Amino acid sequence: MINLILFGPPGSGKGTQASRLVEKYNLLHISTGDLFRYNMKNDTPLGLEAKSYIEKGELVPDSVTINMLKAKVDENPDVAGYIFDGFPRTTPQAEALDELLEPKGGVSSLLMLDVPEEELVGRLLERGKTSGRKDDLDESIIRNRQEVYRNETMPIFDYYFKKGVSTKIWGVGSLDKVFSRLCLELDAL
């Protein structure tokens, strides 16, 4: 199994690259952000709970996020592997993922898309013109998401680095170039 964490700050290209990787490697793409947005669109209780955090650019509480992620993995046991996009974002989430994947061989690789902050803010402001995502509309919320990433999520890179599976990938350049850098790492697994 390939259990890949596609890691990186908001706007680094996780969603964009994940949709290409799932085709090439036949994996299941699980994006916690997409799952929350689906629930928000359908006004589910989970969506209502998540909304107040997401619109401020804060993290949704761990218990809610971990339960949602576990349910998604359990619904899809017979896949060749998973791409986790936007999860884990905190140490308790990483610990929960390790436990969940223990019978499935654990995390194979964490690939971090490395992109400078000014480029990220530019990308998200641009996307905000058409995405309909409230967290893309306001520069202060976009900057808050970057700060939350630095403070709460960045330590996850080291958490998996110590386990020997974290790698940084330069995330600037054409979509094709970034994709081939990712494939180079995955083909070596």
Give yes or no for a contact between 105 and 1, defined as CB atoms under 8 angstroms apart: yes
> Under the phi-then-psi rule, with left for phi > 0, alpha for psi from -120 to 50, and beta for the rest, what region is 77?
alpha
Residue 3, binding choice from Mg ion, ligand AP5, none, Cβ under 5 to 8 Å by partner class: none
Nearest residue (CB) to ligand AP5, 15 versus 47: 15
Nearest distance from C-beta of residue 65 to Mg ion, angstroms: 15
How many Cα atoms sit within 13 Å of 47 on the Cβ side?
10
Nearest residue (CB) to ligand AP5, 165 versus 178: 178
Cβ neighbours of 2 (radius 10 Å): 18
- Looking at the annotation, which residues are catalytic? 14, 89, 127, 133, 145
Footprint of ligand AP5 on this chain (CB under 6 A)?
8, 10-16, 32-33, 36, 53-54, 57-60, 65, 86-87, 89, 93, 123, 127, 135, 145, 173, 175, 178
Give yes or no for a contact between 22 and 81, defined as CB atoms under 8 angstroms apart: no
Nearest distance from C-beta of residue 182 to ligand AP5, angstroms: 11
E-strand stretches of 27-164 = 28-31, 81-85, 109-114
Q: What is the footprint of Mg ion within residues 45-104 (CB under 5 A)? A: none
Residue 178, binding choice from ligand AP5, Mg ion, none, Cβ under 5 to 8 Å by partner class: ligand AP5
Nearest distance from C-beta of residue 94 to Mg ion, angstroms: 18
Q: Which residues contact 112 (CB under 8 A, 6 or more apart)?
A: 7, 8, 157, 166, 167, 168, 169
Residue 29, binding choice from ligand AP5, Mg ion, none, Cβ under 5 to 8 Å by partner class: none
Is 15 an interacting residue with respect to Mg ion (CB under 5 A)?
yes
Nearest residue (CB) to Mg ion, 14 versus 164: 14
> Under the phi-then-psi rule, with left for phi > 0, alpha for psi from -120 to 50, and beta for the rest, what region is 56?
alpha
Q: Which residues bind Mg ion (CB under 5 A)?
A: 14-15
